[in-house]
Structures are given as structure tokens and as C-alpha cells.
Chain A
Amino acid sequence: MSLSDGDIATIWLTLRLATTVTVLLLIFATPVAWWLARTMSWFKGPLSAIVALPLVLPPTVLGFYLLLAMGPNGAIGQFTQSLGLGTLPFTFWGLVVASMVYSLPFVVQPIQNAIEAIGNRPIEAAATLGAGPIDRFFTVVLPLAKPGFMTATILGFAHTVGEFGIVLMIGGSIPGETRVVSVQIYDHVESLEYAQAHALSGVMIIFSFVVLLLLYTFQRKGKAVGMTYGR
């Protein structure tokens, strides 16, 4: 039971996809989470619902609409074509965009919860000490919300690694471009290559377990500090 070169290529592609998506999501989701955590606007409810949609929608529904939107006649497709990038479906970057939409709630929500838990007080205290908005974010919000950012990173990464339906809709199974581990396993099973399917699935199980172990160990440590020293 060993991994073929093709299997290893899919593992690398999956890691590259998950890393790209996680980094981009952290940059994109942080302002969204910040706004959701601090706003009193009526739009908070609708935006929260939109962000959470991927949690409840079947990946096929998301994939279907993204396919239309990114296609030659869709809004995103027209935009990318006007930039001379062609269309995104069945490319690596198409997968990146689709995965970002699909993993958005897993990154936004932990960050939003962490910022909400900080509350206004430390931010106001920093302002009275002369810290401007950007200074406050990097010296107060970021360190205090660190557990939330860690959780968001781990969940965003792991969830991207684990997706299947939306990849199949947007990416298909092009080796080196869109064929990620979950799709490869599916292909193995379809061709009755159970040994290879076993090997890759085993890797996935070990990976997922290690990631979750990391997550829970980290969360427990974060709490234990307060319990040990609290008076």
C-alpha cells in the first residue's frame, strides 16, 4: 500500500490550494469579521446570513452558481475576461475562488467571536493612551484575538483540504491543476483501485486527526492559562 507519483502530486496540489486559500481568506475575512463584531448596523444580520450560507447549502448548489458566475457569460467571467485572464472554471485559481467562498464562515466566525469577546474596553483604553486605529489593531486586537485567528487558520485550512463537491463542480479532475486528494480518491474508487484509495484515505484520516488534535490542544492551553493564574 504505497502512494503513486500521481497521488503525491495531488497531495502537493491540495496543500498548495489550502495554503493559498487560507492566506487569502485571513486577509479578506478579518475586515469582514471586524465589521460584524463591532457594527450596530441593520446590515449585520443579512451579512452574517450570507457569510454563513456555505454552512448549510449543498456544495453542488454553490458550485453550480459559481460555475455560472465564473463562466464566459457570468459577471465574474466577464470581469476576468476583460482583464485578459480568460475564465476561471477548471483552473487552479477558479478552485481558489470557489474554496474561499466555501470556507468563508469557518474563518470569519472564529475571528468575529474572538473580537466580540475582547469588547470595546481594551480598544478604548488603547485609544486614550494615544494609539491610533491601526496601532490598536496590531497591538491590542491581534494579540488578544490570537486564539480566534489560530482557530480560523486551522479550520480554514482543514476545511479546504476536505472539500469535494465544489471541487468537482468547478475544477473537475485535471492532474496538476485541479485534481486534489478528495477527487483522486473518488477516481480511484471509480476505477476500483481500492488499494490506492485506502492509502490516500489513510493519509487524510491521519491528517484530519492531527489537525483537530492541534486545534483542541491549543484551545485548552488558551483556557488553562487563565485558570492557573486567576485569583
Chain B
Amino acid sequence: MEDKADKIEMSGKSVTLVQGIQARFKLGYFHSSATSSFELDIDINIPGQGVTAIFGESGSGKTSLLRCIAGLEKTASGCLNVNGELWQNASMFVPTHKRSLGYVFQEASLFEHLSAMGNLRYAIKRNNQATNSQLLDQVISVMGIEGILEQFPEQLSGGERQRVAIARALLSEPKLLLMDEPLVSLDAARKLEILPYLERLRSSFNIPILYVSHAVDEIVRLADHAVIMGQGKVIAQGDITQLFSRADLALGVGNELGAILECTVLERDKQWHLMRVAFNGGELWLPNVENTQNNTQRIRILASDVSLTLTPHTDSSILNVLSGKIEEIINDEELAMSLLRLKVGESYLLARLTKKSLQKLALTLGKRIWIQIKSAAIVR
């Protein structure tokens, strides 16, 4: 909450800039049958920069939240403040077309009667800014749509359409970009085709993005922050590394569960094709990523790839062994398994162990242990 308001000194006057996005909404759909009733009741506070994932199962209210922020749900009551601009409160409601936002819908929402370029021009014409051709060129090249500008939406593949739709949203030069599962209507191959464009979008344009998804792999690649939703309510919100190391949230099912670490590359070992990286709490050896000069890496360590020992083994094939402490033990959905949250320096890891091992090693809260990491996936 401290970074919510930055006080800056300007010509002797103290100006309070409310940064970030504060949103509070209540929205109910009530039908005669109880099953189709749904109530959204949320209060979120998210940073005014970077990518914030809105994560949850289908029906948890992610899309409704995004539509409330866009002003597309006119019956929603609440309060919305976006980087110092008031968009909605009890007495006022800025209509969607007067909110400086971009919206990418789940399925392609291009205007069928306009070419790809016509769609882009539609946005430029209405953004109330003197868009220079440089931005247009940049957006077109980041989204890789140079070759399809003259084509009409019905001539484009699903992935191409979605890239044009994202470019169109960017060209309205929004203060906030809302993306509602932009990959959900695409097959796995198309998804992989678009993800790199989304990563380039994140690094090329300084626009805060709210990214709705129920796919863990998209979120760990793209997001810096997350809001976890369930049944119309916020379950948790915060930094992505913190959220993914919480055992109680179960972000990812069973074997997919894993913690995220942000690492800095310390050295690259040419002989063994490895790199040594440091995170807030220790160091790890990882397979070297040859084709990148990127010195910060985000890695994901699955709970099922972590095992514990009471003494440091030197006769093991495991390369990465860290010292840590047991912070939390909870029951896994699977009866035989337990989920452990481990503290390593200032960071956290998750481990999924059988209850039998737990008892055999007498693992209890606060106990110091050695953590063996079988593998780590570099996610970005």
C-alpha cells in the first residue's frame, strides 16, 4: 500500500499522484434458477505498470471484472481509479468510449467490413492524439503483421486476426490495456506463435496490461503481478513470485504446481553448457540459454521436482542443493501427498512429498533441511 501514493515536490507545492489502479465493483446477475446466479464483489489494488494477470477458473468472474473496468457492464456499481484518473464512482460513470483503454477480446473482434489496415486506422482516427507514422510502423513490426495489412479479417487465420486486434488496441494509445484470454480461442500451435509477440509487447510499450487467463504457463511467462479470483471474489493479489510460492493457493494442479524465482546470470560455463544464476537466497546451475544476452531470467521450479534430505549429499547426481527451512506443511488434494513451503534466504520454494517420507524424515515446521532440485524450467 505504501507505493500507492507518491508524493513529489513540484515548484514548492506538494502534489499527491495516486498511481496504480484501484477498483471496487459489485455486480450481480440473478436468474430464477440458482445455478446461473452470479455475483461479482471485488476490491483490487494493482500497480500502474507492468503486466498484471487476472487468474482463476472459468466462471470465477475474470471477464466480468475486465468488462467492469472497461465500462461495458453498465449495471456495475463501484469505484475505479486508473493512474490518477477517476473513471467511475457512486455519482459518475465515464462511458467506455471516453475511457483511454484498449481491449482485446477472447475471440477476434475485428470489423469484418474493413481491411486489417482499415481496422488499425479506425483506432488511430479516434485516439484523440496525433499518432505519428513511427508508432504505427513500430506496432505493425512488433506484432509482425506487415504482410497482411491489405487483407480482410475473413482472409486471416485466427492467430493473425488476434495479432491485428492487439495492434488495433495499441494504436488507440491507451493508458490501460485489457486483454481477455487473447489466446483461448487458438490451438496450441497458434498459442506458441503469439506468445512471443505478447512478450515483445510487454517489453516494447510502457502500458499497464491486465491479462486475464486461466493458463498458468501464460501467466508465469508474461505477468509481474497477479490477482487470483474465485467465485466472483478476490482470493489473493500481489507479486507473482510471492503468489506462486504460496502452498495454500494451489496455483496449478498436482504435478504442475511450482514456485517462481527471479534470477540474475552470474556466469556462463561454455564447457558444460551451464549458467550460474543468483536469486534472493542462493545460487543455482541451469542449462545455459545460448541465444540470449538477457541477464535476468525467470525460472519455475515444480514442487514435484524438489526433494529433501537431512544432510547434504555429495554422492548424488543432483547439481543444485540448497539449505532451507520448512515454513508450512499442508495436505495435498491427493491423499498420499503433502505440500511443503520452504524458505531459502528471502525466497520460497514448494515441495510435494509423500506423507510417508514426511514421517520417515521427521519433517516438522521450522526444521532446517537440504533441498535438492532435480530441474528448473526457464520461463522467460
Q: Is B83 an interface residue (CB 8 A)?
A: no
Q: Which chain B positions have C-beta within 8 A of A127?
A: 71-72, 95-97
CA of A121 to CA of B185, assembled, Å: 15
| 1/0 contact string of B109-137 vs chain A (CB within 8 Å) | 11111000000001100111000000000
Contact among A130, A139, A140 for B128, CB-based, below 8 A: A130
Question: Inside 8 A of B72's CB, which chain A residues have their CB?
Answer: 124, 127-128
Question: Is A84 part of the contact surface with B, judged by Cβ < 8 Å?
Answer: no
Contact segment of A96-104, A184-192, A223-231 = A223-231
Q: Which residues of B contact A130 (CB under 8 A)?
A: 97-98, 123, 126-128, 172
A6 within 8 A of B: no
Chain B residue at smallest Cβ distance from A119: B109
**Is the C-beta of B204 less than 8 angstroms from some C-beta in chain A?**
no
Asked if A143 contacts B102 (CB within 8 A), the reply is no
A171 → chain B closest CB, angstroms: 41
Instruction: Report the minimum CB–CB distance from B105 to chain A (whole Å).
Output: 6
B109: A residues at CB distance < 8 A: 121-122, 124-125
Chain B CB count within 10 A is highest, among A122, A133, A144, for A122
Shortest CB distance B24–A (Å)? 21
CB-defined contacts of A225 to chain B, threshold 8 Å: 154
Within 8 A of B (CB), among A121-145: 121-122, 124-133, 135-136, 139-140, 143-144
Task: Please determine whether A129 and B155 come into contact, CB atoms closer than 8 angstroms.
Answer: no
Q: In the complex, A128→B173 CA distance in Å?
A: 11
Contact partners of B123 in chain A: CB under 8 A: 129-130
Q: Does B214 contact A (CB under 8 A)?
A: no
On chain A, the residues within 8 Å of B107 by CB distance are 121
Query: With A129-B168, A130-B172, A143-B113 in contact, do A226 and B122 touch (Cβ < 8 Å)?
Result: no
Min distance, Cβ B126 to any Cβ of chain A, angstroms: 4
The chain B residue sitting closest to A124, CB to CB, is: B72
Q: Which of B19-57 contact A (CB under 8 A)?
A: none
Distance of A19 Cα from B142 Cα, bound (Å)? 52
A143 CB contacts on chain B under 8 angstroms: 111, 113
The reply to whether B155 and A128 contact each other, CB–CB distance below 8 Å, is no
- 8 A Cβ contacts from B117-169 to A: 122-123, 126-128, 152, 154-157, 168-169
User: Which residues of chain B are within 8 angstroms of A121 by Cβ–Cβ distance?
Assistant: 105, 107, 109
Question: Provided the pairs A124-B96, A127-B96, A129-B168 are in contact, do residues A230 and B154 lie with their beta carbons within 8 angstroms?
Answer: yes
A144 touches B105 (CB 8 A): no
| Overall SS of chain A's interface | helix
Q: Does B101 contact A (CB under 8 A)?
A: yes
Which of B71, B97, B113, B157 is A132 in contact with, Cβ under 8 Å? B97
Q: Which residue of A lies closest to B174 (CB)?
A: A128
Q: How far is the CA of A230 from the CA of B153 in the complex (A)?
A: 9
A231–B157 contact, CB under 8 A? yes
Across the interface, name the chain B residue whose C-beta is closest to A118.
B112
Report Cα–Cα, A128/B152, bound state, in Å.
Answer: 21
Contacts of B154 in A (CB 8 A): 225-226, 229-231
* Set of chain A residues within 8 Å of B70, measured between Cβ atoms: 128
Give every chain A residue within 8 A of B87 (Cβ-Cβ): none
Do A128 and B113 touch (CB < 8 A)?
no
Instruction: Give Cα distance in the complex from A142 to B74, angstroms.
Output: 24
User: Does B279 make an interface contact (CB < 8 A)?
Assistant: no
Least distance between B245 CB and chain A CB atoms (Å): 35
Cα distance A136–B111 when bound, in Å?
A: 11
Q: How far is the CA of A126 from the CA of B156 in the complex (A)?
A: 20
The residues of A that contact B244 with a CB separation of less than 8 Å are: none
B155 and A144 form a contact (CB under 8 A): no
- CB-based contact B126/A131 at 8 Å: yes
> Cβ of B169: which chain A residues have Cβ within 8 Å of it?
128-129
A144 in contact with B96 (CB, 8 Å): no
Q: Give the residue among B72, B96, B98, B168 with the most A Cβ atoms within 10 A.
A: B96
Report the nearest A residue to B173, measured CB to CB: A130
Cβ contacts under 8 Å, B211 to chain A? none
Q: Complex formed: what's the CA distance from A128 to B101 in Å?
A: 6
> Who on chain B is nearest to A146 by CB?
B113
| Contact of A131 with B97 in the complex, beta carbons under 8 Å | yes
Whether a CB of chain A sits under 8 angstroms from the CB of B103 is: yes
Complex CA gap A226/B155 in Å reads 9
Question: Which residue of chain B is the closest to A143 with respect to CB atoms?
Answer: B113
A98 to B279, CA, bound (A): 82
B128 adjacent to A125 (CB under 8 Å): no
Contacting residues, chain B, for A131 (C-beta < 8 A): 97, 122, 126
**Chain A residues with CB under 8 A of B172:** 128-130
Given known contacts A128-B70, A128-B102, is B97 in contact with A140 (CB within 8 Å)? Answer: no
- On whether A139 and B122 interact (CB within 8 A), knowing A121-B109, A122-B109, A124-B96, the answer reads yes
Q: Which residues of A sit under 8 angstroms from B178, Cβ to Cβ? A: 128
Contacts A130-B172, A229-B154; A125 near B103 (Cβ below 8 A): yes
Q: Which residue of B lies closest to A144 (CB)?
A: B113
Nearest CB in chain B: distance from A223 CB, A: 12
Q: Which of B95, B102, B111 contacts A122 (CB 8 A)?
A: B111
User: Besides the contacts A140-B111, A144-B113, what 11 more A-B pairs have beta carbons closer than 8 Å?
Assistant: A121-B107, A124-B96, A125-B111, A126-B111, A128-B103, A128-B172, A129-B126, A130-B126, A132-B95, A133-B97, A225-B154
**Could you give 5 example pairs across A and B, Cβ below 8 Å?**
A121-B109, A125-B111, A129-B123, A132-B97, A144-B112
Taking Cβ atoms with an 8 Å cutoff, the residues of B that contact A are: 70-72, 95-98, 101-103, 105, 107, 109-113, 122-123, 126-128, 152, 154-157, 168-169, 172, 178
> What are the 6 closest A-B residue pairs judged by CB atoms, nearest first?
A130-B126, A128-B103, A127-B96, A125-B109, A143-B113, A127-B97
